[in-house]
Structure 1
């Protein structure tokens, strides 16, 4: 999210999370104030290989309830961030991993028990917001106990396949693992400006 009025429009749909990007190279880079929204919506700061002190400053300034790490942050970095966050308040940590046709799930092991969720996005030229869907079949090999968030170019065309994926995990008694669906670029009128009506329709047809 980027624009105050649009933030209020989207918050009225009661999403579980709203993301705010702090990465100067992103066209969605956020600055300014966040208007008051429903406190049940978890405001989420999105960072790319940022200094921990910078993240802590933004958590305090905006009262973030979750942090999304979209760079090459190591497990040790995440552990240090977790320790620092726990000194003030409980903030969720979401670690992003880029996927295309294949993925080595062994890469997740060092992060187990440190981060709250993994997020799988499409590998592309940008740090997210590429508008491309990765091969979701690879997720059927997911063996971690950490819940994950599905991301990467998701729009209306993916609703049927998302619902199939939800059904698959329920059938495998792993429904708790597919934690959330993250949408972004496919619902934008321009970078950082979301189409409220399309988001509303998507939410009504999901699941």
Structure 2
């Protein structure tokens, strides 16, 4: 019997070798950040990363309040499969963008999460809420906020995940996917052993829960 397991996205990748190795280790998606910050990549860097990723692995670009025309241009140039929006983008923005979107939603409270269902997107990514920070906090939130949440789109769990806690997160939340960045880094750099350990643990618990 085929078992549906959690999808895994490794985000904030800046190196084609890391992207390829993560994908071959079982990652379903590789994320590249175009918003300002220490993980930011240029379109040229992202294009090289996208070209290194094996087929059937999603290429995701992360943007924060970027003009729609610029997002479309970068997505076409790099060969992105999806865009992940971490700013104050409206449902109309997502609808008119003309690209498959993942909308990030801060876990501020239950009401904020329930209202996210108005977004016409491929998935909703729930991340830790921290005032003035668009994402990548490296801090978990209270996963109980997600219990019986009436979302219309698949749920991707983010926020402070790492190899030590991803199993518990998958078992409790049963998300469609999990997203990790700082939790698989050492001194600000992606670590292949942590990436492999994260993927292995998430898959083990997900397969057990589904079985």
Q: TM-score, structure 1 length as denominator?
A: 0.82
Note the residue ranges of structure 2 that are not aligned, 5 or more in a row: 1-12, 207-211
Over 3 Å counting, the alpha-carbon distance change for 1:119 and 1:66 in structure 2 is: same
Contact kept, 8 Å, 2:114 with 2:151, in 1: the verdict is no
Write the deviation string for residues 109-135 of structure 1: whole angstroms up to 9, x where unpaired. Answer: 321xx2010000001243211110011
Q: How does 1:111-126 map to 2 (within 5 A)?
A: 111=119, 114-124=120-130, 125-126=132-133
Quote how far apart the aligned CAs of 1:153 are. 0.8
Partner of 2:65: 49
Count of residue pairs the alignment pairs up? 184
Aligned equivalents of 1:120 and 1:41: distance in 2?
Answer: 21
Give 2:56's match in structure 1, choosing from 28, 40, 54. Answer: 40
Matched residue SS, 1:149: strand
Per-residue CA deviations over 1:172-197 (Å, capped at 9, x if unaligned) read: xxxxxx21011111111244x31111
Residues 2, 98 of structure 1: alpha-carbon distance in 2 compared, 3 angstrom cutoff = same
Contact 1:97 1:120 in 2 (8 A): yes
Corresponding residue number in structure 2 for 1:71: 87
Aligned-pair CA distance for 1:58: 1.1
CA drift at 1:203:
1.4
Match of 1:97 in 2: 105
Query: Structure 1 pair 14/163, CA: closer, same or farther in 2 (3 Å)?
Result: closer
Secondary structure class of the residue paired with 1:156 = coil
Structure 2 CA distance for aligned equivalents of residues 44 and 137 of structure 1 = 28
Does the aligned pair in 2 maintain the 1:14–1:41 contact within 8 Å?
no
Equivalent of 1:60, from 59, 76, 82?
Answer: 76
Query: Structure 1 regions of 5+ residues with no counterpart?
Result: 86-91, 170-177
Residue from 32, 38, 42 that aligns with 1:20: 32
RMSD: 1.7
Aligned equivalents of 1:44 and 1:17: distance in 2?
7
Q: Which has the higher contact order (CA 8 A, sep 6+)?
A: 2
CA distance in 2, matches of 1:141, 1:164: 14
Q: Which residue of 2 aligns with 1:198?
A: 194
TM-superposed CA distance for 1:141, in Å, is: 3.5
